[in-house]
Amino acid sequence: MSGRSWRNLGLGLVLSMILACGEEPAPRRIDPKQILGAPLDAAPEPRPIERTLPAEPRPGSDGLWTLDWRELMSFDYALPRRPDLGPKATTEREAQIPPGIRAWQGRRVRIDGFMMPIEVDGDSVLLFNLFHSLESCCFGTLAQITNWIEVELPSGKGVEYFPYGSIEVTGTLEVGELHVSGGVVAIYRLRGESAEPKW
């Protein structure tokens, strides 16, 4: 490169530095509302959480009634650590079950939930608890007895174990204490007809 070319290059760099060191433009003011939105005192009132029970159920075209976990879990069922399983004590405890839930006795129903196997025959599950959520089924603290249904399928009609996805179960509901090995293991039971994945 010739001396004149180097000189021109040097002049260009100097001019660039001078322009870069010139007066900076005044900062632009930004309206805080463009970033933060409306003031907190102008925020709308939060909507109250609805805790009402579902509307009066009706059977579907297939004759099945749709069970709602909100109704099944809408009350606390007090159960002693060592309950008296005699008929009189059992009847007194079962009086805690609301009449509206006892009215489900003997109805053919459908309900969604998560499976926890109890009895398995090869690759087929014949007896399982159906929980309203995966957390109450397999993680965390022990769920309340109102939070599961014991489902029994006929021999030879077991289903595959679905560990994480929800399933839809159909069958005839029975309401009342189920006693096994000197304890109360359920207050809801389903004589199952089918169990299919929801996914």
Residue 19 domain-assigned (yes or no)? no
Q: Establish if 98 belongs to a structural domain.
A: yes
Which residues are bridge partners to 150 per DSSP? 129, 189
Total structural domains within the chain = 1
Residue 191 lies in a domain: yes
| Residue 165: inside a domain | yes
Is the model's pTM score more than 0.85?
no
Domain that holds residue 89: 65-197
Q: What is the CATH number of the domain that holds 191?
A: 2.40.50.870
- Does residue 126 sit within a domain? yes
**φ/ψ (deg, to 5) at 15:** -60, -40
Asked if residue 167 belongs to a domain, the reply is yes
| Centroid of chain to Cα 161 | 19
User: What is the pLDDT, as a whole number, of residue 60?
Assistant: 67
Task: Write down the pLDDT at residue 141.
Answer: 57
For 90-122, the DSSP string reads HHHHHTTS-HHHHTTTT-EEEEEEEEEEEEEET
Is 5 part of a structural domain of the chain? no
Residue corresponding to tokens 């530095």: 17
pLDDT at 40: 46
Residue 138 resides in a domain: yes
Q: What is the pLDDT of residues 107-138, one digit of tens each?
A: 999 999 999 898 887 888 989 999 988 765 55
Per-10-residue mean pLDDT of the chain, 199 residues long, equals 46 44 51 50 48 55 87 91 90 94 94 90 88 68 84 84 86 94 92 85
What is the DSSP code (8-state) at residue 59?
B
Percent of the chain with pLDDT over 70: 64
